[in-house]
């Protein structure tokens, strides 16, 4: 896999579909101390970009500010929270969201949420850079992008040798409604690495020469034949050596494996900040995750540091329902899915988790309960099971308008 392919793949990852939740070990994490290791094994069978629908604040014609009152009175979670109106985006259909594993216990990737956590309310954000071509516009702005490069030079041992160049919308698209001279990223030469700042606030550090940096021989850093224990050791080594670039004062290590239809494992390597504050940890996992990518020779090729909330605006803290209430809604058909099958029944529900859908195709970033449901129609002869994702909004329905029920169509 070439470096530019890895970069493109990481740029296009729809993070809302990364499988979540693993029982976390109790060791506290500090950059200078012990590292909290979180075991994770996500088995993703199909990339999902199909029929995505999102919530946006209800606004009257000619008014740019969200409106709407809940009962016409102030709530304990915020004064007059805007009603969230469910609308459909123009996402192109590519497949459905399915996760393949021999057992549901394999499908976990470090989400800090568990069913023992009780939240009365969770924050909801507006994605201010949503558009049809997937570019963060207006994004954080050129000045802030350059400032990020300066901060890297100030806080690390890397020396910025100069700006390599920038990418403009006009270089690859026209007629999108975004100005052709809008800068989508700025690249700078830092010696062994080219560091790219993207308009969504993300930082991508790519090894120069498309060869990759070789790790000491005692570390295994591969896509398909690195064990979980070896993966944790490798992430710890990379964090120790690149912590100044990564910038996380506290860290939780996450390693996942996905399965192909033939049963081949493909492993990934990730980090997110863990402070012990339950809500902040959920937000860090959803919006500020760091991804580490090897090339085909097991060399470090790319580090991607996500910073999605830099392009978001908090709408408010919304009351949420319990997992039990969400399961009742699921069984009554009140769910959103890209799976081409009706939910097969209660006995097939394998897992529930609370996540944020934080992909570029979402106008509003809000929490959902995601249920992984075994699909008996898609069981494989080699023993692999396919678990489809069915989503129930976690926000109480009184704050939502226009929630459709699944009608059996392949959305």
Q: How many CB atoms lie within 10 A of CB 163?
A: 12
Q: How far apart are CA 409 and CA 411, in angstroms?
A: 6
**Per-residue model confidence (pLDDT) at position 326:** 96
pLDDT at position 84, please? 78
Stretch 150-169: mean pLDDT:
89
Mean pLDDT of 56-69: 38
Confidence of residue 49 (pLDDT cuts 50, 70, 90): very low
pLDDT, residue 383, reads 93
- Reported as a single tens digit per residue, the pLDDT across 257-266 is 878 888 888 8
In the predicted model, what is the mean pLDDT of the chain? 78
**pLDDT greater at residue 56 or residue 98:** 98
Which residues, in sequence order, are CB contacts of 71 under 8 Å at separation 6+? none
Q: What are the Cα distances from residue 2, in Å, to 208, 235, 294?
A: 12, 21, 10
Average pLDDT on 381-403 reads 89
DSSP bridge partners of 254: 38, 270
Residue 73 pLDDT greater than 70, yes or no: no
Q: CA 55, 61, 62 angle in degrees (round to 5)? A: 115
Per the omega criterion (within 30 degrees of 0), is the bond before 307 cis?
A: no
Distance, in Å, from the CA atom of 363 to the CA atom of 370, rounded to the nearest integer, reads: 19
Segment 296-325, tens digit of pLDDT:
889 999 999 999 999 999 999 999 999 999
């Amino acid at each position: 896999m070439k470096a530019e392919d890895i970069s493109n793949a990481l740029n296009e990852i729809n993070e809302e579909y990364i499988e979540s939740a693993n029982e976390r070990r109790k060791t506290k994490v500090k950059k200078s101390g012990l590292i909290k290791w979180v075991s994770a094994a996500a088995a993703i069978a199909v990339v999902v970009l199909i029929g995505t629908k999102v919530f946006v604040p209800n606004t009257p014609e000619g008014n740019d500010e969200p409106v709407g009152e809940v009962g016409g009175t102030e709530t304990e979670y915020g004064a007059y929270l805007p009603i969230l109106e469910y609308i459909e985006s123009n996402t192109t259909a590519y497949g459905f969201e399915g996760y393949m594993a021999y057992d549901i216990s394999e499908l976990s990737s470090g989400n800090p949420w568990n069913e023992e956590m009780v939240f009365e309310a969770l924050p909801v954000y507006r994605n201010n850079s949503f558009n049809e071509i997937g570019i963060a516009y207006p994004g954080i702005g050129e000045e802030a992008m350059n400032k990020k490069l300066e901060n890297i030079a100030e806080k690390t041992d890397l020396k910025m040798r100069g700006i390599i160049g920038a990418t403009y919308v006009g270089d690859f698209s026209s007629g999108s409604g975004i100005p052709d001279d809008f800068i989508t990223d700025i690249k700078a030469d830092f010696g062994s690495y080219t560091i790219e700042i993207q308009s969504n606030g993300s930082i991508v550090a790519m090894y120069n020469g498309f060869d990759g940096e070789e790790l000491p021989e005692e570390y295994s850093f591969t896509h398909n034949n690195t064990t979980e224990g070896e993966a944790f050791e490798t992430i710890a080594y990379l964090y120790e050596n690149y912590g100044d670039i990564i910038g996380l004062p506290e860290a939780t290590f996450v390693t996942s494996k996905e399965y192909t239809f033939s049963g081949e494992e493909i492993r990934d390597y990730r980090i997110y900040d863990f402070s012990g504050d339950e809500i902040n940890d959920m937000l860090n996992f959803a919006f500020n995750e760091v991804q580490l990518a090897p090339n085909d020779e097991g060399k470090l090729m790319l580090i991607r540091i996500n910073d999605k909330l830099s392009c978001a605006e908090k709408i408010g803290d919304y009351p949420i329902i319990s997992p039990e209430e969400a399961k009742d809604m699921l069984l009554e058909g009140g769910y959103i899915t890209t799976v081409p099958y009706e939910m097969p029944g209660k006995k097939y529900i394998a897992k529930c988790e609370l996540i944020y859908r934080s992909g570029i195709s979402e106008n509003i970033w809000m929490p959902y309960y995601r249920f992984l449901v075994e699909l008996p129609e898609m069981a494989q002869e080699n023993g692999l099971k396919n678990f489809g994702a069915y989503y129930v909004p976690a926000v109480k329905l009184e704050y939502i308008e226009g929630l459709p029920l699944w009608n059996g169509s392949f959305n």
